[in-house]
Every structure is written in C-alpha cells, then in structure tokens.
Structure 1
Amino acid sequence: MLVSTVLVLFFKSIHELELKKSIETSQLTKFQHDQRLNLLQEQLDILMTYYPHPMVLFNQRGQQVLSNASFYELIHLQDRELMYDDKRLPRAILKIFKQAYYQETPMIQDISLNNQFYSAHCLPIYVQGRYQGFLCVLQDVTRLVQQDKLQKRFVADASHELKTPITAIKGISELLLRTPHMNAEDRLDFTQQVYDQSHRLEQIVKDMLTLSKLSEDKMMIVKQPNNAKALIEEILNTFSVAFTQHHLNVSLNVNEKTVLYVDKKAFESIMSNLISNVMIHANASELHINVLETLEFVKITVIDNGKGIEAEHLPHIFERFYRASSSRQRSSGGSGLGLNISRSFVLAHQGTLEVESEPHQGCKFTLSFPKLTLS
C-alpha cells in the first residue's frame, strides 16, 4: 500500500536528519551522507507532488513539517506553518489532529467533509524510541460508502419484495391444510395463486442473480450481428398469448436489412422487460416498436399509449425496486428489477436507454446500440 511507502520515507528522512545532527563523521562520509539525504528529499518531493490523497506531517511540537497540494485543497488554507490545533481547520479534521497529537498511538477514524467521506489514518512516528510527531493521510472513501449504502438498501428492498410472495404462499398453504374438504373450484383457484406467487418469487431471485453478475462484471456479453427484424419478431412471438389476454395491439416498423450488433440473450432480456413493463403497469391498448438507423447507432423506440408516468418519477424509474405510483402494487407482478436490468444490459453494450413520458400520454423508451464498425 502506498501509505506504508510514505511512512517508510518519512521515517527514513527523520532518522537521517537525526543522525546528521548527532554523529561526527569524516568529510567524505558527510558528503555521502548529504547525497543520500538529497536523494531522499527528491523522493519525498515526488511523493508529495503525485500522491493523490490529502497528507500532512506534524513534528513533536505540533508544527506542520510536510504536506501535499491535496491537503491544502481539502482544508481551503495555504498556510505553510500550520499548527495541529489551528482553529481555522475544519472541525472534523481539527478533532482528529488533536487526538493524534496527544494520544501518540495509531488511530483510524471516518469523517464527513464537504459532502465527501474520508478515512483518516494517523500514525505516530518514533525515531530511536523518541516521539517525533505524527503523519495523517485522509483517503477518500466516498465511493465505497455510497456502494455500501446502495448494497444495504438493496438487501432491505429485496427482503421486502421477497416477503410478499412468501407470505402469500404460506397463507394460502395454511388455508388449504386447514380446509381438506374445500370444493374443487376453490382449491384450483388457490393452487393457481400459489403457482403464480412461486413464479414471481422465482423471477425475483433470478433477476437478483442477474443484477449481481452484472454489478460484478461476471455476466459475459458476446456481441454478434443479428437481423433486427427476425430477432424482435422472435421476442414478440413469445408474448402472443399475453398480448391477446391484455388486448394489446402491437406493431413493428423495421427495415429487413437492419443489423443489430448485440448479445442475443441480453437483448431478449432488455426487450422482454420493456414489453412486460407495458403489460403490467401501463394499462395500454397499443404498443409500437420502431427501429431506425443513424450513422453510428441503431435506435429502437418502444412506445405505448398507456397512463404514462409523472415527471417527478421519471428520474427514478431505473432504480431497483422503484414503484412509480401507488397503482404499481407488488401484487401486479414483476420483480421491480426489470428496468434496472435492461439499463445495465444496454450500458454493457456501450449504449443508452432513455425514457420520455407525461401523465395519460403513454411512455416512450429509446434504446441506442452502437453499430458494428469494420476497421
């Protein structure tokens, strides 16, 4: 770790300076000694210039000895003679410096500053058993903190989503067990409900595994040329019964020669999620899929004439488990992950997925996939 390298260099520099003051050497030895110190100083200068994290060294009197540009940017001060207890320092940093100075023991603390999160590593420096000051490195961990929050939120949301079908299955099963002489029609109805909820439970787990693989870059995306018309028609055919049940009229407008450079399974997942979203949530009677080629992209629009989405919800509809309205209840089906998965797959193709909508005006999803370029 680079922090340990910093410590070693600081330790050596202080140790060498102490030796220079305390020992008597020949003129030649002093010359060699000075050369070594100069080399060490050059190494320190390079390190202080290019080390990305804020870093500062205080001596045993609490005076700033060394610091880098990142540190000054963080504290918004340019004072080169800063003391560890300077009242101008941000409160969170001032508190850490005081603790590090008086305790003279290694310490690690997490702080929040300027809407960023830092892990402050403070380590005392001893030379020949004597305390010489302390080094503090502030590592930006904002991304890690945000990822941790997202992971915790995902686990909480997933648990909530899984609870719904599990509770339904358990409740119906208990009812069936308590009523052994239930008439055949009711028993069939409850059995169908158990099947539907178990299918939904399976879909949630499947989607969660897909997202996990995508987030960890374990999902293989193998892009190949595909005839756009044939591929989309194949996907639409799998929904033919569902279209009839939902009274949904579907149209496809695409040039027979248009080629999509995509992973077939990933593209099927993208389109299936968008189509399912229309049937489950949009309450639409028409669905239009248009494919258009530009110089660099193949653009696909998926347009419905359903109830649309309010503007306040649009920025969030690709979030995991997000429900755009109270009408989008969990009982309506779906895992709550489909749009997030679709966007993740599109991004894995270096493409884009955008949405436009107004209440009672339907939705328009636009997918853009880079065209195959022959070099």
Structure 2
Amino acid sequence: MDRHKLSALFALLIVSLALESLFNLPVYLVILLLIIAFGFIWYSSEIRLAADVRKNNENLLHELKTSSSDSHLKTKQLLTIVSSIPFPLLLLDEMGKIVIYNTQALAFRHSDAKIELDYLHNDFDPAIQEVIKDAFILEKEQEERIRIDDVDYQAYMVPVTSHGRFSGCLILLQDMTKALSGEKMQKRFIADASHELKTPISVIKGMSEILIRDDFNDPEAQKDFLNQINSEVQRLESIVKDLLELSKLSVEQPILHRTRIDFHELAQNVCKPLMPLINEKGLKLNLDLKGEARLFCDAQKMSQVLNNLLVNAVKYSDSGTITLRTFTTDDDYYIQVQDEGCGFNVNEQSRIFERFYRVNQSRARAEGGSGLGLAIVKSVIDAHGGVIEVRSELNVGTVFTIKLNKL
C-alpha cells in the first residue's frame, strides 16, 4: 500500500471517530461508511495508476516504434550504400556471422540459397573462405592476393571496433586485372624503350672509340663514321621527341587545341613536303578528298597523324599507289590512308598500335624511325574521341581508317 492510500485511510479513521462522537451513529454504520469511502479512494487510485501505466506504455511503444523505424531506415541506407559499391564486399559481426554482402560478392557463392553464413560455414569460393577465416580469426588489418577463375584479386581485411573491442570485420575484393596489365605494359615499355635507346648509343659509342684512336687515319672511313653517328643521333632525337609526345598524350585528359578547320587543305599541306620521298621511291600519291571539308579538331595533332600514316605507307611500299581518302556521313568524318605495300598477317593487327612494335624488324630499322609513330596516331585519335582501325593483307597492302565525330 502506497503512502497516499495510508494517509487517506488515517484521515477516514479520524473522520469516522468524529462522526460517531458528534451524531452518536451506530458503530456498524460508521464501519460501513468507512469501507465504502476507502473502497472509493482505492478504486480512484487504481484508475489513476492504470492511466499512468497506460500512458507510460504508450510512450514506450512510440519510442520503440520510432527507434525501430530509425533502425530500419539506417539498415536500408547501409544496404543501399553497400549495393552501390562496385567491388565485392562482405561484413562479419563479432560472432563471425556474415551479416551483409553485396551483389558483386554474391557472384562468388556456389548457390543463392538464403541461409545463415558464418566464417566457418559458407558456400563462397574456397579462396574467399580462407580470406574470411583470416579476417575473423586474426582480427587485424591485412591484405592478401588471391586468384579466382584466372582473375587476380587484392583482398583488403579491416577490423571493426566498438569502444576498443572487436565487433566484426570488413572484407573488400579489388579486381587487379587492369592494374597488373598496366604494370606489365609499363615494364615492357621501359624494356623496349631501353633497347631502342641502347642500339643507337652503342653504334655512336663504337664509332667514336674508333675515331679517337691515335692510329686511326682514314679520311673516307672517318666521313662514313661521322655520317652514321649523325644518323643515329637523329634517330635518338626522334625517339626522345616521340616519347615526350606520347607522355603528353598518355595523361588522363590530354590538352587539345580544337578549331574548325578545312581538313582538305590540311591534308594537301601535309602531303607537299612528302612528295620528294614519294617520288624517290617511285610511288604515286592519290588524293581522294570528298565530303565536307570542315572538321573540328586539333590541327597540329591531326597533321601529325596524317604525316605518320603517310610516312608509314611510304616506308613499307616499294611500288604502287598511296591513297589519302576522306568522306563523310551525317554524323561522322572518315579518313583513310591506303597503300599497296608489303602488308602483314591478321594475327599482327591487334599489336600494330603498340609502342615500339614493328611488323618487319629488319626493314623498320633500315628505314629509320622511332617505332612510336602508330602508337602516337592512336593516342591522338583516342584523345579526339575517335576510332582507328586497320585492315591488311600480306603482299597486298594496308588500309588505316579513322572515324571522327563531325560535331
């Protein structure tokens, strides 16, 4: 019985005694009045208590609903974020249960059954199973390289802590194919560049050592050596110049100075200085410039593209005609350089734009050049948002086709 009820009962007893003494009421009647009054007080108190309890319950229920709604919203937001991550991702709780994984990670399961998964019992790829075990058991940040279906992945394992205690771990897998491919290409490029630079340097070194000998006294040989040294220096200069050009074009956003130009006029200007070389080899040049003349492009870089393709055509042709052709459609501008030279096999077409790649090594070296011309051509066309394709047949000839947006 609470304090308020005891106080009310004590007050009723005093009132009862007062009524008995003042009005000489029978004792049984006083007791009856006392019971009725106390019952009323008790009932009123219980009603108030029930109302208070009901109100408290309603407040608590509202808080629980609000909390549940907030929790559901936060969970939904978390799942949305996890689903939008483009890498396979898994989240384990402090008991080792896999509580969240995204669609990318689902691809590594052997089934899509909705079952409870943990660090010991799951149907992920065996390589990922080992990563999950390591992440949960070791409870530390770590990285591990794994291979699944001939694809290399870098697994990142990050522990999650709460108030200084381990509360789970996050696992993220990154496809390393592009990174490793880029790394291999970089290593090959460095090796190829070193080889290309080493050859003329070796020639220059060997001939200069002969020239500075005290017993060397042959004017004709000296002149021949100096001419060869000059030729190798020019080759070195060409390689370095093209390497610098490639480095500028290899950045994510190469700088282009685009203007609307008369491409037919540009093509004619590129061809003029090449005519002595074309005539010297007994070749013919055919300009077939049709369609619209106006093109929005970087004039300097497109001049370089045409020059490289035409020089390449002259280099690999001993006879026949070289054709420079343009034509347009509603949306696109086409440029073609066609020769009737030695051509090359189909299996070499996929590598023709690689840096330092040469179809005919001995002929290419004899003709000179850096071996970077076609790589520069492709980089320039890529920077313009265009496409370049090659079609070649051995001992028949080669056609390079460029497609650019007319804008």
Q: TM-score, normalised by structure 2?
A: 0.77
Equivalent in the alignment of 2:406: 371
Question: Does residue 172 of structure 2 align to residue 137 of structure 1?
Answer: yes
Change (3 A) 1:99 1:255: closer
CA distance in 1, matches of 2:236, 2:391: 30
Quick check: 2:144–2:156 contact (8 Å CA) kept in 1?
A: yes
Quick check: 1:278–1:284 contact (8 Å CA) kept in 2?
A: no
Match for residue 322 of structure 2 among 287, 299, 322: 287
Quick check: 2:159–2:168 contact (8 Å CA) kept in 1?
A: yes
Equivalent in the alignment of 1:18: none
CA distance in 2, matches of 1:181, 1:122: 69
Equivalent in the alignment of 2:20: none
Structure 2 gaps of 5+ residues are 1-58
Quick check: 1:104–1:124 contact (8 Å CA) kept in 2?
A: yes
Quick check: 1:258–1:293 contact (8 Å CA) kept in 2?
A: no
Larger radius of gyration: 2
The count of aligned residue pairs is: 347
Amino acid at match of 2:105: F
Equivalent in the alignment of 1:40: 74
CA distance in 1, matches of 2:215, 2:298: 50
Match for residue 153 of structure 2 among 94, 103, 118: 118
Deviation at 1:255, TM superposition (A): 4.6
Amino acid at match of 2:394: P
Quick check: 2:335–2:401 contact (8 Å CA) kept in 1?
A: yes
Deviation at 1:271, TM superposition (A): 0.9
Deviation at 1:244, TM superposition (A): 3.2
Change (3 A) 1:369 1:50: closer
Deviation at 1:266, TM superposition (A): 0.7
Deviation at 1:107, TM superposition (A): 0.8
Match for residue 379 of structure 2 among 344, 366, 372: 344
Match for residue 89 of structure 2 among 55, 63, 79: 55
Deviation at 1:246, TM superposition (A): 2.5
| Larger helix share, 1 or 2 | 2
Moved more, 114-123 or 169-178: 114-123
Question: Does residue 303 of structure 2 align to residue 268 of structure 1?
Answer: yes
Question: Does residue 241 of structure 2 align to residue 223 of structure 1?
Answer: no
Q: Percent identity?
A: 33
Equivalent in the alignment of 1:186: 221
Deviation at 1:129, TM superposition (A): 4.0
Quick check: 1:280–1:333 contact (8 Å CA) kept in 2?
A: no
Q: Larger relative contact order (C-alpha < 8 A, sep ≥ 6)?
A: 1
Question: Does residue 163 of structure 2 align to residue 93 of structure 1?
Answer: no
The two structures, once aligned, show a CA RMSD in angstroms of 2.6
CA distance in 1, matches of 2:375, 2:392: 17
Quick check: 1:280–1:334 contact (8 Å CA) kept in 2?
A: no
Amino acid at match of 1:63: K
Change (3 A) 1:182 1:87: farther
Equivalent in the alignment of 1:319: 354
Deviation at 1:28, TM superposition (A): 8.2
CA distance in 1, matches of 2:332, 2:215: 60
Structure 1 counterpart SS, 2:346: coil
Deviation at 1:366, TM superposition (A): 1.7
Equivalent in the alignment of 2:36: none
CA distance in 1, matches of 2:376, 2:110: 42
Structure 1 counterpart SS, 2:316: helix
Deviation at 1:362, TM superposition (A): 1.2
CA distance in 2, matches of 1:120, 1:156: 30
Change (3 A) 1:321 1:106: same
Deviations 1:255-294, CA, capped at 9 Å, x for gaps: 5972333211111110111112123333344312222233
Q: TM-score, normalised by structure 1?
A: 0.83
Change (3 A) 1:122 1:257: closer
Deviations 1:84-116, CA, capped at 9 Å, x for gaps: 234743232122222222211111123232343
Deviation at 1:240, TM superposition (A): 2.7
Quick check: 1:228–1:258 contact (8 Å CA) kept in 2?
A: yes
